[in-house]
Structure 1
Amino acid sequence: MGDDVNRTLPPDTSLEQLPFGKWLLKLRVVLRWFGFCVVTGVALALITVLYLKSKPLPPPQIGITTQILDAQARVIDHLNRGERRDPVQLKELPRSITDATLTAEDQHFYEHWGFSPKGILRAALVNLKQGRVTQGASTITQQLARNLYLTHDRTWSRKWREATLTSQLELHFSKDKILEMYLNKIYYGEGAYGIERAARIYFGKPARDLTLAESAMLAGIPRGPRWYSPLNDRQRAKARQEAILDAMVKNRRITQAEAEQAKSETLVYADHPQPQPAKAPYFRDYVLQEAISRYGLEENQVRGGGLKIYTTLDLNLQKKAEASFHRYLPKQELQGALISIDPGNGHIKAMVGGRDYATSQYNRVFSKRQPGSTFKPILYLAALENGLTPATRFESKPTTFIYQGGEYRPTNYHNRYAHRAITMGEALATSDNIFAIHTHLAIGEEEAVRMGRRLGIHSPLKPVPSLALGTSAVSPFEMVQVYATLANGGIHHQPTSILRIEDAEGHVLAGPRRQPEQVLSPAETFVMTHMLRDVFSPGGTGRRVGQIINRPVAGKTGSTDWDSWLSGYTPRLATTVWVGYDRGKRLPPGTSRHTHNIWGHFMKNALHGTSILHPRPPEGVAKVKIDPQTGEKATAACPNTKEVWFLSGTEPTQICKRHRETAPHVPSKEPSLWERIKKWWSG
């Protein structure tokens, strides 16, 4: 058959003249280019490998102490003092720790050359499905390169350097040596650097004696040292451990029986002293959280990157806050919290999260509790915007309120009622609950919710009648924003703890990003401030504070059966204090005295030596002398009068009817004797 084909083609026939000849020519060109590219690629790859193999690795970056500084650059704390490590050889470690680590971080570590295409694809698919970055694809070699040599910024240049260093590590070291370096370098939380320190800090034993259950627990921590530390959240850490054990079964590193036995093992954690920095420990922890969660830095970098974190804290004010707590908080189970900020910029100047950091690291500044009557200024600000005024009057007496959904019978503290109509100003000073409910229902329950949101409260607020009395739980961190906004003429600043973060070379990595917002008019805050000053006057619920501080202050007390609050301010400083029990337990009688003493003495000492600022009346306010009994414009005949500030256009114009002025009475003159005789004769 081949001879027949040859006879049918002329001897000078070209390839183009053959059937499919043009396609064959194109294929030949493609194959030539493909061959050229393959050869070139192999050559370049070989050259790159030889270059990376011949180029020595740079000396690794050893952890450098990070400093946290206050607003005057005074040291609050040093972090990562030397990164103590106890190196251990891979051959000394139990198989359980290497298997658990590989399962948790890089299942195909011994199969790839430093990069995992499957891991990259899997992470990409998961992130695409979630619509955000929820899973990374870094191998153990990549993590080691990053922890040894690089910062954790997300730039293309850093990623390129990471890829280069990862390749060099794979070329210069065996897989076992890379894994050994990783286990000795990685951070396990709680100040534990490397697997040997982690074993001793968490379980009080050398790494060679770790059980399978302990190994799986430790292997789960590096992915998020604060998040997965069993000393922070044992339930979350236990779930992570069990997931790793299940994955080890799936990868045939252990049997199902071994996994179940490890899951049922009771882990006994070692007793070791909790870190207790000498200065502002609760604030220190909050700053670390902000640096990681808000500014995107990784914990290894924060603790061992040689950073300088400049904060807003004033160590002088911090010492005064702590001294007030130690002096006036009884040595019982009672706990407390204090946060003080500069209203003009939102800078946190002092923070106390509890009575004793060594005993409890829980920061109660962020604990959510019922604020009681400290919520009422929010309600009355909403009322001012809805047409009510400081002279608006409601009856103060036992009242049953009918609303959609049922009846509500609030009471006043100790059943104290005026049994007459009182003004908004008097209701604030005496903390009258009946007046508050009248106001809340008159303007609509949603109005107080909206006002709370504007002033910085993000906790759920239920639009029910009892909201007026502060029954929706909020945190001191939220309440201090409300009062700081009042102190700052209606301009709201989100509380700020970090001024800037610098790396070891002095480059600024992060700084404040939030912008202030005008949420109230200066007129509204001016009117409210003048009403809140009466809280500390004789007859007000905070009169004890008025006896401590010899300067104008404004604020509000709040008491429930479980919580005692005081939030207040001057133009220079806004402070919120909470006192109560961590668990639901009724307060002993007189607890408010401790709260008032802590707040009053701290503010007195914090403001000592500063001048008294008297804000000028802004546009949009008017001062009128009223009769508090009637809420009307006072006359000279009114026995009691008070000068009150109003929003312009809402001030009373009606003259007091109860004490209306009349023409003066002129007594008649006694008639003389002659006039009496004359009248008798004529008459």
Structure 2
Amino acid sequence: MSRTVSYFRILSWLFVVGCAGIALVLSSFYLYLQPALPPVEQLRDVQLQTPLKVYSRDSKLIAEFGEMRRTPLEVEDVPSNQIQAFMAAEDSRFREHHGVDLRGLIRATYELVSTGSIQSGGSTITMQVAKNFFLSRDRTFLRKFNEILLALQIERELSKPEIMELYLNKIYLGNRAYGIEAAAQVYYGQPAQDLNLAQMAMIAGLPKAPSAWNPLADPERALIRRNWILSRMQALGYIDQEAYEQAKARDISARYHGPEIEASAPYIAEMVRQDALRRFGEEAYTAGYEVYTTVHSERQKAAREALRDGLEAYDRRHGYRGPVDQWSPDALDDRSELKDRLNGMSTVNELIPAVITGVHEDEARALTAIHESIRIPMTAMSWARPYINENSMGPRPESPSDVVSRGDVVYLRIPVQPVVNEEGERKTLEAELVQIPEIQGAIVSLNPDNGRLEALSGGYSFSQSSYNRATQAARQPGSAFKPLIFLAALENGATPATTINDAPIVFDDADLETTWRPENAGGQFRGPTTLRRALYQSRNLVAIRLLRQTGIRQTLDYIGKLGVNTSQLPGDLSLALGSGLLTPLEMTRTYAMLANGGYEVTPYVIQTIKGPEGDTLFEAPESHQCEKCDPDEEELLEAALPSVRPGDDASQKPKRLMERVADKRSVYIMHSMMRDVIQRGTGRAARSLGRSDIAGKTGTTNDQRDTWFMGFNPDVATGVWVGFDQPRSLGRREFGSATALPVWKDYMEVALAGLPERYMDRPAGIVSRRIDPETGEPATTDNPDARFEIFRAENAPEPASANDSYQDDSADDSGDARPTQELF
């Protein structure tokens, strides 16, 4: 008996000593690790990594940048079934324990002892919060002990709802989705509040293995785990048997949903991304900034579609270059292999890659990655004359076999809506044969009153090429540059009635390194020509003589004062023909200056930047035009802040003064002259808009390498450039009026819709004289061809007689530049 007691005492002492040893070890671990533990208070102010979002002016999502897709939710906004699904899957005793679940740890320890490796961590939701926010993902005992200590601290300082909210917003759920709202959007394309029970259970199953077991990567394993979670929810009393059976019976409805882009403006998005990266560094992708741009979604859509349609129209005019690839006809029987290969090809501007599977008498049949059989009628490929060169095409095709062959890989445009017959039955889908244009272009639209970018597209397809031709492609503007030459002349005493000889001229100039014989388009010469007529007929030789008369250096200095970058402009007479280099954005900025009456324009694309808490970090300055900035205005300009910082008075918006850079009377006269380009000159096609307030200028360089149309009214200034990235001829009949003007017109039809006609206010100091339109000399009333012309008062000729003068009240600023029957 005494021996038994002795053994019992020894075992008791050993147990006590063991417990004390364990306590000592644990205490040592705690004392060693506790000082290095981060303060739990950080969790209250934690910054969840949220992507950069870019919006249009009317709050349509343009783009999302960042590796982590996340949209934080308040725990009150999360459906109770979603929370219960996570508890069933990860921690059913979440509401009962104090951060550590001993049952889970004992189970994890047993698995370790029985298998020799860590099978499950026994982690509670609180421990996962500790790991996700503060610790590494290494599966070590030291990290686990840190996790336990942090979990205990978190439970002491945060409430259960706060812990659950942190967990639901931080947890990684596969496919770049962090948090349940992002996961709901990625897998189901809808908010978390709108998910059904089966979808909630599917999302709750993702933390186990988010990359490998999600419903996109492994649907079978994801389905098994979803159904297990549903059974756990039923067993725990979260749902009844009927709800369990209904949810379990649902099929997997998950598919990948990218960010829901509401406005397609990829070139704008890239401009904003680069700006945000300069401002905020790599934090731009994770801090949750929201950037609101100046572009309006409707105008942006119109600009993108107008440029796309214009480039495709040019491409068709020059014929079909053939298939992008040719696959062996023997491989056409393996439909699965064909679809895999087509899946690897890019869709470009909604143009879908396809392979021709059959050619018949009046149609061809094609297969795409998602369409089993598509009909291409002969009418949809009759345009496809063989391309020979930019000036020549082969004969018009008479049958599909003249265009395509079995195995040809081509691009198709497929209607979004299925084609149905009169009985409402779905017909075989019909498509149109298309090809991706080699020609490129750019369109830029600005608000002249403040420089706000209204729309921009830098090429046919951003996915094909991210090179932004609107801002990066410095090209020769050709005759689109002439209004600046003419404006410089007007400010140096010339008038619209000034007559210059349109006749052949030869220059043997050492600076030009060769004999130069400039010509007019078409090779014709018209003799003495007024500047008004020379501009709307785009007479090259008049522009050259006018530049020589004004002076090259004086003209360049004047153009530089307008804000034009003169570093890539030539210092010779070829300047008159637009031989310098300017980007479409620079050209449009210059025309916006003309549109607003002569005030400098600084384009901008970012209207507002908001921080993760919704505070305004930056707001574009308000633009104010000043005739002659006085000292107070200049002081205001210097004091204008580049941003509004948190804590600043947001009502005190920064301001920017737009200084006058051109005489308003000269600009007023230019408006009149450039409206004639539309009404009777090279821009006549724009008359289809039915407006008399638009002005503009075409531009075409030598050998038709660059083509332009620049135009405006006082509300919108828009420029279009069309050409090849590697300059070459567009073809002998391809001028700015044929390539760029249709794009401009299609866009402006939308941009000006609903806006009343508007003209520049008539400034004081403008007078009218009756002149002979052929000679530019003052005319009498008995001249049946005489017309009124407008002049700056100091440059106006004396009237032919006292009775023949009509003079505006030069002290009266009222009125506008609306044309009259008698005025050119």
Q: TM-score, normalised by structure 1?
A: 0.58
SS of match in other structure, 2:476: coil
Letter in 2 for 1:325: L
Q: Give 2:732's match in structure 1, choosing from 589, 592, 597.
A: 589
Matched, 1:640 2:745: no
Query: 2:812 maps to what in 1?
Result: none
SS across alignment from 2:682: coil
- 1:389 CA drift (Å): 1.3
Q: Tell me the residue number matched to 1:438.
A: 545
Q: CA deviation at 1:338?
A: 0.1
1:80-95 alignment runs, 5 A limit: 80=66, 82-83=68-69
Distance in 2 separating the partners of 1:392 and 1:275: 59
Summarize the Cα distance change of 1:509–1:632 in structure 2 as closer, same or farther, 3 Å threshold. Answer: same
Summarize deviations over 1:96-154 as a string: whole Å, max 9, x none: xxxxxxxxxxxxxxxxxxxxxxxxxxxxxxxxxxxxxxxxxxxxxxxxxxxx99xxxxx
> Structure 2 residue aligned with 1:363, among 468, 479, 498?
468
CA distance, structure 2, for counterparts of residue 446 and residue 581 of structure 1: 32
> Which of the residues 585, 602, 607 maps onto 2:747?
602
What corresponds to 2:505 in structure 1? 399
What residue number does 1:566 align with? 709
C-alpha spacing 1:450/1:297, structure 2 compared with 1 (3 Å): farther
Q: 1:563 to 1:276 in 2, by over 3 A?
A: farther
3-state DSSP of counterpart to 2:602: coil
2:563 matched residue in structure 1: 456
What is residue 306 of structure 2 aligned with on the other side?
324
Deviation at 1:595, TM superposition (A): 1.2
Secondary structure of the residue that 2:288 maps to in structure 1? coil
Once the two structures are TM-superposed, the CA of residue 470 in structure 1 deviates from its matched residue by 0.4
* Alignment check: 8 A CA contact 2:488 2:559 kept: no
Check conservation: 2:593, 2:600, Cα contact below 8 A. Answer: yes
CA contact (8 A) 1:400 1:408 kept: yes
SS, match of residue 588 in structure 1:
coil
How much does 1:50 deviate? 9.5
Q: Please state whether the residue corresponding to 1:297 is helix, strand or coil.
A: helix
What is residue 553 of structure 1 aligned with on the other side?
694
Question: What is the letter of the counterpart of residue 351 of structure 1?
Answer: L
The one-letter amino acid paired with 1:536 is: I
Percent identity between the two aligned chains: 34
Q: Deviations for 1:453-497, whole angstroms, at most 9, x for unmatched residues? A: 233322521211101100011100100011101111111120010
Distance 2:697 2:785 in 1: 25
Cα distance, 1:528 vs structure 2: 0.8
**Which residue number corresponds to residue 581 of structure 2?**
473
- Gaps spanning 5+ residues in structure 2: where? 1-32, 71-132, 135-145, 148-169, 171-175, 179-257, 316-436, 621-641, 643-655, 805-824
CA deviation after TM superposition for structure 1 residue 501, in Å:
0.6
2:54 pairs with 60, 64, 68, which one? 68
Asked whether the equivalents of residues 307 and 743 of structure 2 are also in contact (C-alpha less than 8 Å), the reply is yes
Give the Cα separation in 1 of the matches to 2:444 and 2:677. 20
Q: Give the deviation of 1:654 after TM superposition.
A: 5.5
Change (3 A) 1:51 1:290: same
**2:490 matched residue in structure 1:** 384
Which amino acid is the alignment partner of residue 284 of structure 2?
V
The CA distance in 1 between the partners of 2:689 and 2:732, in whole Å, is 21
- Distance in 1, Cα, partners of 2:451 & 2:480: 20
Mapped partners of 1:477, 1:632: distance in 2 = 39
2:669 to 520, 524, 527: 527
Question: Are 1:548 and 1:601, in contact at CA under 8 Å, matched by a contact in 2?
Answer: no
Query: 1: distance between equivalents of 2:491 and 2:444?
Result: 29
Match of 2:602 among 494, 497, 509: 494
Contact 1:276 1:358 in 2 (8 A): no
Which one is further off, 395-404 or 529-538?
Answer: 395-404
* Residues 769, 799 of structure 2: 8 Å contact kept: no
Amino acid at match of 2:298: N
Cα offset, 1:57, TM superposition = 7.9
Q: Distance in 2 between matches of 1:292 and 1:339?
A: 23
In 2, the alpha carbon distance for the partners of 1:640 and 1:192 equals: 74
String of CA shifts for 1:206-248, please: whole Å, max 9, x gaps. xxxxxxxxxxxxxxxxxxxxxxxxxxxxxxxxxxxxxxxxxxx
Q: Shift of residue 341 of structure 1? A: 0.6
Task: State the alpha-carbon separation in 2 of the partners of residues 275 and 444 from structure 1.
Answer: 56
Flag the 1:287–1:645 CA change in 2: closer, same or farther, 3 A: farther
Separation (CA, whole Å) in 1 of partners of 2:510 and 2:767: 37
Q: CA deviation at 1:53?
A: 6.1
Name stretches of at least 5 consecutive residues in structure 1 with no aligned partner: 1-48, 85-147, 150-171, 174-184, 186-190, 194-273, 660-683
Give 3-state SS (helix, strand or coil) of 1:411's partner: coil
C-alpha separation between the residues in 1 aligned to 2:440 and 2:492? 38
Is the CA contact 1:536–1:544 (under 8 Å) kept in the aligned structure 2? yes
Q: Confirm whether residue 510 of structure 1 aligns to residue 630 of structure 2.
A: no
SS at structure 2 position matched to 1:387 = coil
CA contact (8 A) 2:497 2:530 kept: yes
Which deviates further from its counterpart, 546-555 or 336-345?
546-555
Decide whether the 8 Å contact of 1:431 with 1:541 is kept in 2: yes
1:575 partner SS: strand
Equivalence for 2:89: none
Paired residue for 2:296, among 314, 322, 339?
A: 314
Query: What amino acid sits opposite 1:365 in the alignment?
Result: A
Residue 348 of structure 1 and its aligned partner are, at CA, apart by 0.3
